[in-house]
Structure 1
Amino acid sequence: MRILLTGASGQLGVELSKLLSQKNEVIRLYNSSEVPDGYKIDLTDFPHLEDFIIKKKPEVIINTAAMTEVDKCEIEKEKAYKVNAEAVRHIVRASKVIDAYLLHVSTDYVFDGNKGLYREEDIPNPVNYYGLSKLLGEAFAMSYDDSLVVRTSGVFRNKGFPVYVYKTLKEGKAVSAYKGYYSPISARKLALAIEELINLKKTGVLHVASERISRYELALKIKEKFNLPGEIREVEEVKGWVAKRPYDSSLDSSKARKLLSTDFYTLDIEGMVV
């Protein structure tokens, strides 16, 4: 199978690239850093993006590229819209021309966090611009019949909250853990789930994330598992935040758990690269 992968240098992109290249031809697109055997393309250069996709004629497109820095999205709204939403529109346009199957990765931040354990049918209501830009991207993706939107939560590998906790505690420093819940998943487990999904060619929206946990509880687990020094403090908000965060953006992944044989649900702290 010929697969085009955007965001190949990101956490999920790196894991997908390693996994999928074992049995498939993977065309890797990246923007910010070097990827062996990849193509550097600015996703906001929309004519170039469409032309590249149409010429390469992939059977499957996996869009993991995104502007994910929540506060940066709040400040640089125009750029966030172009990367997280408008680029998806142009990926869809090209997908239609070549009849490619599209899997688009989205986020739990499309929800307001007022109830948690959100199902696919729940109505999105983002509380920050990152969530809004990703929701608009979802709308563009779902305008194409042969697409699947995979919502996930707190992806980590070489960065993310679990890695921050590990490194900070290891240095004997204090960790500020936001008083809120989510469903963090390692990039490794998410990649395994996506590999299975592209073979199933499911469409619509699907939640793929791990168990619901508070950041405070997760920090305690990491401290205990690795026997780390350092203090953990639960806080209402983190100093320096620009954008509001949802209190409980955890996802209900029961549909995906019934559908997939991959155990993506069990929290995989070992999935950190530190």
Structure 2
Amino acid sequence: MKSKYLIIGSGQLGQELINLLNNDVEYTYHTMDPFNRGAYLDITNFDLLEDHIIKTMPEIIINTAALTDVDKCETDRNIALKINGEAVKHIIRAARVLGSYVVQISTDYVFDGEKGLYKEDDLVNPINYYGLTKLIGESYALSYDDSLVIRTSGIFRHKGFIPFVFSRLMNEKEINAYKGYYSPISAKKLAEAIVKLTEKRKTGIINVAGERISRYDLTIEIAKLLNKNPIIKEVDNVPSWIAKRPYDSSLDISKAKAILDFDFYSLKENLKYVVIK
């Protein structure tokens, strides 16, 4: 019997979705197989990508695969475009054959950061190549009527800014925190929201993210949870960054809140997932 779900990618979000969906899911991996039952797939091999989807025959496809290293996207544009953009075109091609429902995970970086608290219908204007490739992926997904684009922000689990801060605090090291704002959310909470939205078979674009906060203020909140009193410096930029970052890419999540009947978005609850556990 075919599985209801096919998860493409088994990173932080993919793993939480697999945990949540349990036996009703098949998944692909590229770098490592976290549960030792996935199918290896290089999504830049587009023929194999389409073949795998068609052979799997899923009712629902959730594409979590992405090159999310913003600086690597800037320096290796060819692979960034293939993974974040062109692969989505081929996922949609296979979905059309099967009549599958597709969920494409996108990013707050499709916006320029001049405004903040972006709604789904606000003007997109990416300022780095990562954001551009994700926007291209969105356009392919939205060309198919039975698709949902979920824009999110600052996903964290065992990787990301929040675990980085946690590690620095526990080792009593100074922290440089960027002034910019975003809407971080744990991979677990995001996965729960995604499954609920697939059950409702929503289409179009929906923002699913956490509360608007600066990385500086977030660092202070984490320090409070851990009863630490570190040296925290608020910085305008990070010298090692190659790509530009939007100053305020926070997302307005009122649409998701109206659709979903429970709260995924409490900053305290999101922090507890990594900091306390």
Taking structure 1 as the reference length, the TM-score comes to 0.97
Matches of 2:192 and 2:134, distance apart in 1: 23
Aligned-pair CA distance for 1:222: 0.2
Measure the CA separation in 1 of the matches of 2:200 and 2:169: 41
Structure 1's consecutive aligned runs of 4 or more residues displaced over 3 angstroms after TM superposition are none
- 2:36 paired with 1:18: no
Other-structure match for 1:113: 113
The aligned runs of 1:252-271 (5 Å cut-off) are 252-267=252-267, 268-271=270-273
- Which residue in the other structure is 1:166 paired with? 166
Q: Report the equivalent of 2:241.
A: 241
Counterpart position of 1:31: 30
8 Å CA contact 1:187–1:271 kept in 2: the answer is no
1:217 counterpart = 2:233: no
Deviations, residues 88-120 of structure 1 (Å, cap 9, x unaligned):
000000000000000010000000000100000
Q: Percent identity?
A: 55
State how far apart, in whole Å, the 1-side matches of 2:236 and 2:61 are.
39
Q: Could you tell me how far 1:25 is from its partner in structure 2? A: 1.8
C-alpha deviation, 1:230, in angstroms: 3.0
Q: CA deviation at 1:167?
A: 0.3
Say yes or no: does 1:187 pair with 2:187.
Answer: yes
User: Retained in 2: the 8 A contact 1:17–1:28?
Assistant: yes
Letter of the 1:132 partner, please give it: L
For structure 1, list consecutive stretches of 5 or more residues without a partner in the other structure: none
Q: Any idea what SS the aligned residue of 2:156 has?
A: coil
- Taking the aligned partners of 1:248 and 1:169, their CA distance within structure 2 comes to 25
Kindly provide the CA deviation profile for residues 179-227 of structure 1, in whole angstroms up to 9, marking residues without a partner as x.
1100000001001101101100000000000110010000000001011
Q: What SS does the aligned partner of 1:218 have?
A: helix
Question: In the TM superposition, what are the counterparts of 1:43-82 in structure 2 within 5 Å?
Answer: 43-82=43-82
> Alignment partner of 1:113: what SS?
coil
Between the aligned partners of 1:118 and 1:218, the Cα distance in structure 2 is 20
Q: What are the ranges of 5 or more consecutive residues in structure 2 without an aligned counterpart?
A: none
For 2:33, give the aligned amino acid: E
Inter-partner Cα distance in structure 1 for 2:15 and 2:194 = 13
Q: How many angstroms apart in 2 are the aligned matches of 1:27 and 1:15?
A: 13
Instruction: Report deviation, 1:229.
Output: 4.7
Amino acid at match of 1:171: N
TM-score using structure 2 length? 0.96
Q: CA deviation at 1:138?
A: 0.2
Paired residue type of 1:211: E
- SS in structure 1 opposite 2:138? helix
1:271 Cα deviation from its structure 2 partner: 1.8
Number of aligned residue pairs: give it. 271
